[in-house]
């Protein structure tokens, strides 16, 4: 939804007035899409578990 400054924040108009300005990013269409993707990954057990930071970094590098 276009704002006066021409930026589309993706917030549905009915939410815009009821959500604090510094929390609106969470309700944007883009962020909610990423939330659904994360929920699907959790549901499908597509998570990595690491005993320490070094093993996490190794996994990220591979």
| Per-residue model confidence as pLDDT tens digits over 1-56 | 444 444 455 656 566 667 788 888 888 889 999 999 999 999 999 998 999 999 99
Provide the 8-state DSSP code for 52: S
pTM over 0.85: no
Q: Which residues pair with 2 in a beta bridge?
A: 8
**C-alpha–C-alpha distance, residues 38 and 46, integer Å:** 9
Do residues 47 and 41 touch, judged by C-beta distance below 8 A?
yes
């Amino acid at each position: 939804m276009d704002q006066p400054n021409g930026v589309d924040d993706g917030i549905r108009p009915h939410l815009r007035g009821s959500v604090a300005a510094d929390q609106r990013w969470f309700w944007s269409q883009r962020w909610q899409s990423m939330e659904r993707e994360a929920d699907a990954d959790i549901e499908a057990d597509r998570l990595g578990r690491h005993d320490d930071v070094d093993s996490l970094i190794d996994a990220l590098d591979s």
